[in-house]
Structure formats: C-alpha cells, structure tokens
Amino acid sequence: MKELPHPIIGGSFSSPVMPSTNWPMDVALTQTPIAKSLTQVKKIANTVESLTELTAAISVCRACPRLVSWRTDVAITKRKSFEDQPYWGRPATGFGAANPALLVVGLAPAANGANRTGRIFTGDRSGDWLYRAMHKAGFANQPTSEHAGDGLELINARVLAAVRCAPPGNKPTPTERDICSHWFAAELKFLPNVQVIIALGGFAWDQTISMLTQLGYLGPKVKFGHGASIEFTNPDGSVLLLGSYHVSQQNTFTGRLTEAMLDDIFNQAKVCINSG
C-alpha cells in the first residue's frame, strides 16, 4: 500500500490510515475492537468505559458495508487536487472538549473533507464557516480548520456527525443512520454537562431529538428551521436544542445561510451557557 506524507506533520501514512501510526488525534490501537454489524456496534457502544475508548471504537467501525466501501474507494482514488496526500478513509469521530457545554451536530463527513483530513468539518468550505463562527463566539482557538494536526482546539465545545462515515451523495440510508445512532447515543452519555446542542440541518435536528428522547428527555414537538429551538428537560436538568441551516456550500453560496445568521446561533448558545 503506497504511503504519502501528511501535509502538516509529515510522516508517511497509508490510505486509509492504519491505527497506531501516529496520525494526529487517532486514539485507536491495533487491539481496538472492530464492529462489523449492528449487533457488534450495540455491544461495543454499551461496554466501552470512556469517551476515548468510544472514540477509538467508532474510528475503526465497519458496520455499514456500503459506506465502508465508499469511504475506502474515495481514499484510494483521491480527488486530483489532493492526490499527493494520504486520506484518512475511516469514520470521523467526535472532536473537541471531553466535557463540553456546547455540542454541535452535523450530518456526515464530506468525502474529500473529513474523510481526507481525519477531522470532522475540516478541509472544506463547510468547516471554514463553522469554525470561523465558533472562533468568533469563543468556542475555538482559531478560525481555520485545515487538517488534523493544524492546532485547532475547541473550547468548552465538541462537534460530531450523526453519521460518522462519508455517504455517497451526502445521503446515508435510514439503516445506516439507525446503526450509527448507537454511537451517537453512547457519546451523549459520556457528555453529561452539555447545556446547548446546535443541530446543523434537519437531519441532525431529527436525529438529536431522537437521541435525547431515548435518553429520557422530554420537550415539545417543533419543526426544524433556522433559529428553531426546543428546551428539553429530564429529572437531572435541561438541554437547549437550537436549529441552524447546515453550513453546506448549497446554503452558504446561495445566501440561504449568511455569516450573521450563523453568528447569531452561536451567540445564543454562548448567552445560554454563560447564564446557566
């Protein structure tokens, strides 16, 4: 398997990247259990004992044959402009603080974005929009997100995708969504201090509502829209869900989502967290 240098840290990596090869932020070990079916996803998601173990297990998951095939094919074929780079080619895990107050939920990694760089919303225009807004609101140490290993750190915030593998046409099937939801639910259990969740787009909105409901939260039924919100409560506290149009190029190029609109959502999250 041909190895290529990482564009920031150097070193040589295969595409897809193998665990335990010093790729930035890769916490998987050669002995990390690999889920190859829904049953195995459920079993591992229910038995991991830490967020790090969960992150490692997600990063080597192979439970959806169509997505494993797609992410691997893209990683091997590569877009021409990135042909001199290694491609991560594995699930994009949650990124950011281990005990955050803010959680941002997207749809799925981009084939030549996170599937290449190994970090969610990194290496494409969507990430430029998201992390610029997070930086302006004080949730990120820098406004740019070029590649895993570029020094980006999230402050009191974490970002994840509802489906962790890049899907063809950005469209996971309902079965793929449901299998991956077990990773999402497990990750939420390791994040007990989340006060605000920003859902980027209707897919993330619906999935987040489904996850919170499974965890025993109650809230009114509200249709997704930019600026929509739901206050969820359970006996232990509350979580505010905020909706934002997705930071996809489809929305940002057309002006459906403007910088001011996105800033407004992150400012709402900041005010809520600071007052809580």
Q: Where are the beta strands (DSSP E) in the chain?
A: 4-6, 10-13, 95-96, 102-106, 157-161, 196-200, 229-234, 237-244
Q: At what angle do helices 174-189 and 202-214 cross, to 10 degrees?
A: 50
Q: Is residue 159 part of the contact set for ligand SF4 (CB under 6 A)?
A: no
Q: Is residue 60 part of the contact set for ligand SF4 (CB under 6 A)?
A: no
Contact 116, 88 (CB under 8 A): yes
Which residues partner with 12 through β-bridges? 5
Q: Is residue 180 part of the contact set for ligand SF4 (CB under 6 A)?
A: yes
Q: Is residue 161 part of the contact set for ligand SF4 (CB under 6 A)?
A: no
Rule CB under 6 A: choose which of 67, 103, 133, 196 binds ligand SF4. Answer: 67
Q: Is residue 199 part of the contact set for ligand SF4 (CB under 6 A)?
A: no
Rule CB under 6 A: choose which of 58, 111, 152, 257 binds ligand SF4. Answer: 58
Q: Is residue 57 part of the contact set for ligand SF4 (CB under 6 A)?
A: no
Which one-letter amino acid corresponds to residue 16?
A: P
Q: 226-234 long-range CB contacts below 8 Å, 24 or more apart? A: 226/257, 226/261, 226/265, 227/264, 227/265, 229/268
The footprint of ligand SF4 on this chain (CB under 6 A) covers a number of residues equal to 16
Q: Which residues lie below 8 Å from residue 52, measured CB to CB, with a gap of 6+? A: 27
Residue 45 and residue 258: Cα distance in Å, rounded? Answer: 37
Q: Is residue 160 part of the contact set for ligand SF4 (CB under 6 A)?
A: no
Q: Is residue 204 part of the contact set for ligand SF4 (CB under 6 A)?
A: no
User: Shortest Cβ distance from residue 181 to ligand SF4 (Å)?
Assistant: 9
- Binding region for ligand SF4 (CB under 6 A) out of 79-87, 137-145, 172-180, 258-266: 172-180
User: Shortest Cβ distance from residue 64 to ligand SF4 (Å)?
Assistant: 3
Q: Is residue 198 part of the contact set for ligand SF4 (CB under 6 A)?
A: no
Q: Which residues lie below 8 Å from residue 87, measured CB to CB, with a gap of 6+? A: 15, 16, 17, 74, 75, 76, 78, 115, 116
Q: Is residue 176 part of the contact set for ligand SF4 (CB under 6 A)?
A: yes
Contact 240, 231 (CB under 8 A): yes
Q: Is residue 41 part of the contact set for ligand SF4 (CB under 6 A)?
A: yes
Residues numbered 88-107 forming contacts with ligand SF4, rule: CB under 6 A: 91
User: Shortest Cβ distance from residue 170 to ligand SF4 (Å)?
Assistant: 13
Which residue, among 114, 197, 188, has the nearest Cα to 152 in the 3D structure? Answer: 114
Q: Is residue 165 part of the contact set for ligand SF4 (CB under 6 A)?
A: yes
What distance separates the 2 farthest-apart alpha carbons in the chain? 53
- Binding region for ligand SF4 (CB under 6 A) out of 163-171, 209-217, 237-245, 267-275: 163-171
- Binding region for ligand SF4 (CB under 6 A) out of 116-124, 132-140, 161-169, 218-226: 161-169
Token pair for residue 175? 């079965």
User: Shortest Cβ distance from residue 5 to ligand SF4 (Å)?
Assistant: 27
Interacting residues toward ligand SF4 by CB under 6 A: 41, 58, 61-64, 67-68, 91, 163-165, 176, 179-180, 183
